[in-house]
Amino acid sequence: MGNIGVLPEHIVNKIAAGEVIERPSSVVKELVENSLDANPSMISISIKHGGKSLIKVVDNGTGMDQEDALLCLKSHATSKIKNSDDIFTIHSLGFRGEALSSIAAVSRVTLLTRNSSQQAGTEIEATGGKIKSVKEKGTPVGTSIEISDLFFNTPARKKFLKGERAENASIAEVITTISLAHTHVAFKLYKDDRLIFDYPTCPHLKERLLGTHYHEWVKYLLPLDIKSDGLNLRGYFAKAELSRTNRSAQFFFINKRPVKSLPLSYALQRAYQGLIPQRHFPVAIIFLELDPTVVDVNIHPTKREVRLQNEKIICEKIVRHVREVLYKCDHSPSIFHTYSLGKGKSYYQKSVSEPFDFKEIQEKVKGRDDYPETAKGTATSHQMAKEPEEEMWFVDTEKKLKVITPLGQIRESYILAETEEGFIIIDQHAAHERIIFEEILTSLERGNATSQALLLPAIIQLSFKEAQILEEHLDLLVAVGFSIANLGNNTFSVDATPTLMGNVEVKDLLLDFLHGILEGKGNVPLNDRKENVAKTLACKSRAIKANEKMSPEEIEYLINSLEKTKQPFTCPHGRPTFIKLTISDLEKHFKRK
Ligand code: ADP
Ligand code: MG
């Protein structure tokens, strides 16, 4: 007799649960997605003990009749696809038909549901996937699912759950993330019987953000709106001042499904290159609307990752557009309003572990001048369903660096200057680096770099890898003004350097340059390679340092040159070149208004 046996359904479901249901927040994600697929105008979520003892999701969507209610807990039971072709044209969030069966396999479920064709609703109780009772019960149209004792029959999984706080935080994050893509649905979250989130329906993402912990972002956001070649990209990306030290403030949605995408994230990183400090990550919320046939959502059991056709084209479009807009913006941080995220706990951890009064936040943001009238009303979800075309926020993208009078140097390192708005403090080294960086880039683009010959050629012996990188960048280095000859055997001789760079130690410079590139990512596009060259060279150039006295003429020259740069706000490494203080800031702080 053979050894192979086909596993019974309850074991199959338990195994599937291992993939789909990792922790309480995965249950919340699946249940909320099911609710959203049923077209509700509100979803209410209640959790107890980090979702470990109870998760209840109630919606006013279409609901189910008794026949469907009995089927929905079975594995591979779905109303969302009927045949294999449907897998390639998915419009719903679910389609695998395994979430409810997986959840039911590892918990106790009470499902109460009714659709509009039925007089009475159906209540089903199940334990470990086995139906224990089916009753008729009065209930409004919609669905309520209660999951208690999660993982009661899989003790190993239960043991590995994190503490209540972490689970609460993860659930809160799942809900807020999903809510960003569904502003026409109201969301409520009750934690241990206390209402902690209350997001009313609203016409725009910005109003939704104002109601969440992300409300402070709103004043930093710039709109993204690209429609071309069947691609529809919209959302917001933040000014460079609002960067974080991890990727947790990057949200990507493909056809309203939240996804993790490293390629999209790298694209953003490239767009912000030189505008935010190293190891900082941009803040962005980006929605991609794509023909479902070009997205494969079936590569990951929780559908958190998807595969995209034309990914490269999409990434290039994001980089180009975001960069273009960022280059037009005023990024100079204000001395008083410097906004720093990314340190300490996440918002969610703070909000769910410390007392958090959402009403207080909402009242506060409603009082703000930039809070739109439409968000204050109580429009119905029906009215809200359509996104108004117009952008209601005014985005100030005018570049502002107009110095009226240079006032002098502070500690021989910073320059004080009066501007139309107030005054600015310039970091002389950072500013000079920005100027040289752009000069190098321009000379690369125009091909008009000049060289100065060295008295003695520098002979440089490299490793095989270093030599390879140097070969790859030789054209660019020559274009910028180097004269380099390959002597064979990984040895090179340099007999001229760019005039722009002044007198530099050639060997150190080239080695630093090569190592910088070796540490970075391989295969960067030409534009980025140009920037890499310009960045490294600017950094090693004759840029004025801190603690160097400058004459009034030098100060004036520096300011004039900075004003002329395309993007005067940061040095090539993303640090600010100047910070500002406006007259209105001053008046506020001297209590004049
Ligand atoms: P999937 O969402 O992949 O279809 P699920 O196991 O999550 O699979 O759900 C199974 C089916 O149960 C769904 O296809 C849907 O028809 C029904 N269902 C689940 N939750 C709801 C809900 N909140 N409202 C209406 N129908 C629901
Ligand atoms: Mg589902």
Residue 101 C-alpha to ligand 2 middle, in angstroms? 10
Nearest to 418 by CA among 431, 433, 434, 402: 402
CA–CA distance, 450 with 268 (Å, rounded to integer):
34
Q: Report whether residue 59 contacts ligand 1, using a CB cutoff of 6 Å.
A: yes
The answer to whether 35 and 43 have CB atoms below 8 angstroms apart is yes
**Which amino acid type is present at position 551?**
S
Q: Report whether residue 61 contacts ligand 1, using a CB cutoff of 6 Å.
A: yes
Which of 78, 124, 141, 182 has most ligand 1 atoms within 8 Å of its beta carbon, as the pocket-test mutant?
78
In sequence order, the 6+-apart residues with CB closer than 8 A to the CB of 410 are 416, 425
* Ligand 1 atom closest to residue 103's alpha carbon, by position in its atom list: 6
H-assigned helices in 228-353: 262-271, 311-328, 347-353
Residue 64 C-alpha to ligand 1 middle, in angstroms? 9
The answer to whether 415 and 559 have CB atoms below 8 angstroms apart is yes
Residue 31 C-alpha to ligand 2 middle, in angstroms? 7
Note the pLDDT tens digit of each residue in 326-346: 888 777 777 765 444 333 334
Question: Tens of pLDDT along the chain (593 residues)?
Answer: 788 888 888 787 777 777 778 899 999 999 999 999 999 999 999 999 999 999 999 999 999 999 999 999 987 788 887 777 777 777 888 777 889 999 999 999 999 999 999 999 999 999 999 999 999 999 999 999 999 999 999 888 888 889 999 999 999 999 999 999 999 999 999 999 999 989 999 988 988 998 888 888 888 889 888 888 778 899 999 988 888 888 989 999 999 999 988 889 999 999 998 888 888 899 999 999 888 787 777 667 676 777 877 888 889 889 999 988 888 877 777 776 544 433 333 444 344 434 344 455 455 555 544 444 444 433 333 333 334 333 334 444 455 688 899 999 999 999 999 998 899 999 999 999 999 999 999 988 888 888 999 989 999 999 999 999 899 889 989 999 999 999 999 999 999 998 888 777 888 888 888 887 777 655 566 777 788 888 888 887 878 889 999 999 999 999 999 999 988 999 998 888 999 888 988 888 888 87
User: pLDDT value at position 360?
Assistant: 53
User: pLDDT value at position 183?
Assistant: 95
Note the pLDDT tens digit of each residue in 270-296: 999 888 888 889 999 999 988 878 777
Q: Parallel, antiparallel, or unpaired: how do β-strands 108-114 and 54-59 relate? A: unpaired
Q: Report whether residue 122 contacts ligand 1, using a CB cutoff of 6 Å.
A: no
Residue 102 C-alpha to ligand 1 middle, in angstroms? 12
Which of 39, 55, 72 has most ligand 1 atoms within 8 Å of its beta carbon, as the pocket-test mutant?
72
Which of 79, 107, 122, 147 has most ligand 1 atoms within 8 Å of its beta carbon, as the pocket-test mutant?
79
Note the pLDDT tens digit of each residue in 22-54: 899 999 999 999 999 999 999 999 999 999 999
Q: Which residue do the tokens 């080695």 mark?
A: 511
Residue nearest to atom 13 of ligand 1 (CA): 78
Residue nearest to atom 8 of ligand 1 (CA): 97
| Segment (H or E) for 133 | strand 130-137
User: pLDDT value at position 541?
Assistant: 81
Burial of 65 (0-12, 13-18, 19+ CB in 10 A): middle
* Ligand 1 atom closest to residue 142's alpha carbon, by position in its atom list: 24
CA end-to-end span of the chain: 91
Question: Which two three-digit tokens encode residue 421?
Answer: 């708005």
Q: Report whether residue 64 contacts ligand 1, using a CB cutoff of 6 Å.
A: yes
Question: Which two three-digit tokens encode residue 482?
Answer: 């180097």
SS3 call for 48: strand
- The CA radius of gyration of the chain, in Å to the nearest whole number, is 29
Residue 47 C-alpha to ligand 2 middle, in angstroms? 19
Cβ neighbour number for residue 206 with a 10 Å cutoff: 22
Count H helices and E strands in the chain, helices first.
19, 22
Q: Report whether residue 143 contacts ligand 1, using a CB cutoff of 6 Å.
A: yes
H-assigned helices in 272-346: 311-328
User: pLDDT value at position 278?
Assistant: 81
In sequence order, the 6+-apart residues with CB closer than 8 A to the CB of 337 are 585
Burial of 294 (0-12, 13-18, 19+ CB in 10 A): middle
Q: Report whether residue 177 contacts ligand 1, using a CB cutoff of 6 Å.
A: no
**Which amino acid type is present at position 378?**
T
Which of 20, 21, 34 has most ligand 1 atoms within 8 Å of its beta carbon, as the pocket-test mutant?
34
Q: Which residue do the tokens 């959840």 mark?
A: 103
* Ligand 1 atom closest to residue 61's alpha carbon, by position in its atom list: 24
Q: Report whether residue 53 contacts ligand 1, using a CB cutoff of 6 Å.
A: no
Burial of 541 (0-12, 13-18, 19+ CB in 10 A): buried
Q: Report whether residue 470 contacts ligand 1, using a CB cutoff of 6 Å.
A: no
Q: Does the reported pTM lie above 0.75?
A: yes
Q: Report whether residue 35 contacts ligand 1, using a CB cutoff of 6 Å.
A: yes
CA–CA distance, 135 with 359 (Å, rounded to integer):
39
Q: Report whether residue 78 contacts ligand 1, using a CB cutoff of 6 Å.
A: yes
CA–CA distance, 298 with 231 (Å, rounded to integer):
21
Residues within 5 Å of ion ligand 2 by Cβ? 34, 94, 99
Burial of 590 (0-12, 13-18, 19+ CB in 10 A): exposed
The DSSP call for residue 576 is B
* Ligand 1 atom closest to residue 33's alpha carbon, by position in its atom list: 2
Q: Report whether residue 26 contacts ligand 1, using a CB cutoff of 6 Å.
A: no
- CA separation, residue 33 to residues 50, 59, 69, 121, 271 (Å): 19, 11, 17, 21, 32
In sequence order, the 6+-apart residues with CB closer than 8 A to the CB of 397 are 222, 325, 328, 329, 330
Nearest to 247 by CA among 263, 235, 234: 263
